[in-house]
Chain A
Amino acid sequence: MIDRNEPVSEGDLHAYIDGELPPEQRDAVAAWLAAHPEVAAQVAAWREQAEAIRVRYGAVAREPVPARLSVSRILRPRRSVAAMAAAASVAAFLIGGGAGWFAHGATMQPSTGIEKVATDAVEAYRLYTVEVRHPVEVAGDERAHMTQWLTKRLGYQQHIPDLSSIGLKLVGGRLLPGPDGAAAFYMYEGPSGERFTIYCSRTDVAETSMRFKDTGRVATFYWVDNKQAYVVSGPANRERIEAVTKAIYEQVDKAMARKS
């Protein structure tokens, strides 16, 4: 206990500002400080230090966490150097909104496989999104059945993203021929009838960075993760397709992490 007649130790003063003292001792130290202004000034200086530290570094905890630090990313099994590069560029994409990140793709080894998949996907987009009556084989309200069916046909687990949070409704899906067996094709529709599609298929490439292609009317983001290609196509509005791709990527990534 601190007696008001006894000097307060320096340790008490630190414990005081760090909230380590029980209430009655707190009060005693506060009273003692009121009578010792020069010590009170020192204590105030310590408090200012603490405040400066919190001002300087506190905001770090509110920054978005880089993708490489997510638990799911770290738990993903053995990744090649190329895979890490791909992950890094996807991370850069997700954080930087794509700025300055396309240059990265140039350093990746060319993989014609994925370019072919992207071309097929854009063709499918052009062919089916104009269909009014028969855009899909299975309607969006049969999601469970469609997941089961296409998982079986493609030979790996399908995760059909839910994009309702960004205003897109699942129209449905269909089976298409892919470069290496079957491909799955999912279609979504926005409030003003604009359509986005996801084309999924196996590839011979293990991983790629995220790439972007704009063919004038149709814009496409595509990437390969774990030998699974994803091609997101939609009307050529860069901002919108980026947001849609981000939502899809996050869901697919999460689903993959759960599996591994």
Chain B
Amino acid sequence: MTDFRRRVEATIPALRRYARALTRDADIADDLVQDTLVRALRSEHLFHEGEIRSWLYTILTNLNRNRLRSLARRPVLSPIDDNDAPDMPGPDAGGRDIERALATLVEDQRSALMLVVLEGLSYREVAEIQGVPIGTVMSRLARARAQIKSFLDGERPALRRVK
């Protein structure tokens, strides 16, 4: 196996973690990772220098964005579990609260927060992955944190549609 492939392989566990947090669905997450790997390995010859890990995160982030866009084109209303108030904000049932809170975030905010908090990347790396200035990454983080806090503090989010 080439060094490139070995390095890609070594990143798979982290990619799965990131994808799981982004999608909160194990199957969709692994599909995303698989698509990411297919693309990365197909473009092995295009990759010369740089950080393989950041590059893989970039591919995955973009693929997920595309996925959400194509979902958005379908006129589907996602069921908002609105009748289960008892397990809305309150004692945490195995991480469900944070999961629900993350679900209320805008995709770019969620991705920025996950890359920083879960994957331990620097603001600069996240800026490169998202293709935006560092200032934008910081405002995404700030909004994400404020939104999660207000969700966990019990402010129920407005009824949302999957856009």
Contact = CB atoms under 8 A, between A and B. Distances in A.
Interface of A: 10-11, 14-15, 18, 20, 42, 45-46, 49-50, 52-58, 60-63, 65-66, 68-72, 74-75, 257-258
B128 interface: no
A50 B97 CA distance: 13
A60 B20 CA distance: 8
A46 B141 CA distance: 10
Interface stretch (B61-69, B73-81, B117-125): B117-125
Nearest to A62: B13
Given A53-B98, A69-B16, A15 B138 contact: yes
Interface of B: 1, 5, 8-9, 12-14, 16-17, 20-21, 30, 33-34, 37-38, 41, 92, 95, 97-99, 101-102, 113-114, 116-118, 122-123, 138, 141-142, 145, 148-149, 152
B17 A60 contact: yes
A75 B41 contact: yes
A71 B116 CA distance: 26
B12 A69 contact: yes
A57 B17 contact: yes
Contacts, number: 94
Contacts of B8: 71
B158 to A, nearest CB: 21
Nearest to A46: B145
Nearest to A12: B138
B21 A57 contact: yes
Contacts of B141: 14, 18
Given A49-B148, A50-B117, A61 B138 contact: no
Contacts of A66: 30
A66 B27 CA distance: 11
The 8 closest A-B pairs by CB, nearest first: A56-B95, A61-B13, A52-B98, A60-B17, A61-B17, A57-B21, A50-B117, A71-B9
B39 to A, nearest CB: 10
A51 to B, nearest CB: 9
Contacts of A58: 17, 118
